[in-house]
Amino acid sequence: MNNKAGNDVWARELLLCQLTANSSFVSAYLSLMCSWDSLWKGEENEVALSLKRCGYRFPNLKARFITKNRHLLPHIRDMVKPIADEDQGKAREYIVKNFIGFGYKEASHFLRNVGYFDLAIIDRHILSFLKTQGLSFNFKTMTKYRYLQMESVLRSISNALGIDLGILDLFIWFEETETVLK
C-alpha cells in the first residue's frame, strides 16, 4: 500500500492528482512522466512550458499550483498520514485548506491513491451513475455541502452492501467507464 511508502511516492501521487483535475488520467500521467524534472526544479514558466510541450491541457494554471505547493512535497506524507490515520475526512479538509488547487474530489483522489478508502471520489461518472439510479442532483457547481451530501448517499449504499466507500465508487467508475486505471 502507498500509505506505507515514503514522502517521494506521496509527492508523486499529489502531483498526479493535481494534474488529473479537469483532465484525463492518461494525459495527467503522461505529462507527469514527461515533465518530471521541471515539476521538481523548474520555475513556474519552465513548468508551464514543459507541460505544454507534453500536450497538457492547462499548463499555466497547473504550473502555478505545482510551484506554489512544491515546498510541501518533501513532507507530504509526514504532514498528512498522521491525520488520515485518525480521520480521513479531516485529512481531506487539511489538504483542501493547505494545498493550492485542491478541492474535495482531488483531495479524495490523492488519499485513495495513498491507501485510504473511506472517502468518495465524486466525478462526472459517479454523478451519471447516480442519475441513472434516480438520484438526480440539479446544480451547476459542486460546493462542499453538495459534495458531502452525495458522499453521504454513497456511504449509505456502501454500508448497506458491507463494502468500503472507496470500493463502491471504484466499482461504479468501472461500470461507467469500463476501465480501471491506477
State the catalytic residues: 105, 123
Enter the C-alpha cell of residue 145.
Answer: 455541502
For CA atoms 12, 14, 19, 21, the dihedral sign is positive
Enter the C-alpha cell of residue 93.
Answer: 479538509
**Rounded distance, CA 99 to CA 109, Å?**
14
**Rounded distance, CA 178 to CA 102, Å?**
27
**How many residues can be counted in the chain?**
182
Please, is 109 exposed, middle or buried when counting C-beta atoms within 10 Å of its C-beta (0-12, 13-18, 19+)? buried
Are 19 and 34 in contact by the 8 Å Cβ rule? The answer is: no
Best CA proximity match to 119, nearest among 132, 135, 107, 136: 107
